[in-house]
C-alpha cells in the first residue's frame, strides 16, 4: 500500500453519506435520532453467591462500532469502548501492517470533524 492520503474513522451509527460521489461533501456528524448517546446503560443483574440470589443495580459500559477507512476505502469495522478513536485507528493501522510507520500517516480525522 502506498502512502495514505487520508485516514479517517467513523462511528457507523452516526455518519451519513459516503463522501465518494463527485461534489459530495465529506461525511458529517448526524445525531442518532431517538437513541440517546450514552457510553453506559443502567441495568439490573442477578448475582448468586452461596445459593443466595440478589438483584444488583449497576452501570454496564456499551461497546460501539467504529468503521476505519484508509484513502476513503473501508478496511475494518471495530467494536470498541467510546473514546480515543484516533489512537485506536492509528494503532490498528500500525499493528495490522496497513502502514509501515507513523511517517506513512498524513492525517487522521473523525467524520464528526470538519
Residue 18 pLDDT level (bands cut at 50, 70, 90): very low
Q: How many structural domains does the chain have?
A: 1
- Model confidence pLDDT, tens digit, residues 20-56: 444 444 443 333 334 455 678 899 999 999 999 999 9
What pLDDT score does 9 carry?
Answer: 54
Query: Does 19 or 40 have the greater pLDDT score?
Result: 40
Give all strands (DSSP E) within the chain, no chain letters.
Answer: 7-10, 15-16, 28-29, 40-49, 52-61, 64-70, 73-80, 108-110
Residue 101 domain-assigned (yes or no): yes
Residue 96, domain extent:
7-30+37-110
Percentage of the chain beyond pLDDT 90 is: 24
Rounded-to-integer distance, Cα 69 and Cα 89, Å: 9
Inter-CA distances, 27 with 10, 19, 82, 92, Å: 9, 6, 19, 21
Residue 15 domain-assigned (yes or no): yes
Mean pLDDT calculated for residue range 55-70: 89
pTM for the whole structure: 0.54
Residue 1 pLDDT level (bands cut at 50, 70, 90): very low
Residue 67 domain-assigned (yes or no): yes
What pLDDT score does 8 carry?
Answer: 53
Residue 2 domain-assigned (yes or no): no
Query: Does 68 or 36 have the greater pLDDT score?
Result: 68
Residue 1 domain-assigned (yes or no): no
Amino acid at each position: 500500500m502506498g502512502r495514505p492520503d487520508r485516514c479517517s474513522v467513523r462511528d457507523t451509527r452516526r455518519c451519513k453519506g459516503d463522501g465518494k460521489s463527485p461534489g459530495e461533501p465529506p461525511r458529517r456528524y448526524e445525531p442518532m435520532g431517538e437513541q440517546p448517546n450514552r457510553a453506559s446503560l443502567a441495568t439490573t443483574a442477578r448475582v448468586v453467591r452461596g445459593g443466595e440470589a440478589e438483584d444488583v443495580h449497576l452501570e454496564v459500559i456499551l461497546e460501539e462500532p467504529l468503521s476505519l477507512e484508509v484513502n476513503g476505502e473501508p478496511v475494518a469495522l471495530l467494536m470498541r469502548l467510546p473514546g480515543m478513536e484516533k489512537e485506536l485507528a492509528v494503532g490498528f493501522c500500525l499493528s495490522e501492517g496497513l502502514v509501515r510507520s507513523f511517517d506513512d500517516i498524513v492525517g487522521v480525522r473523525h467524520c464528526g470533524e470538519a
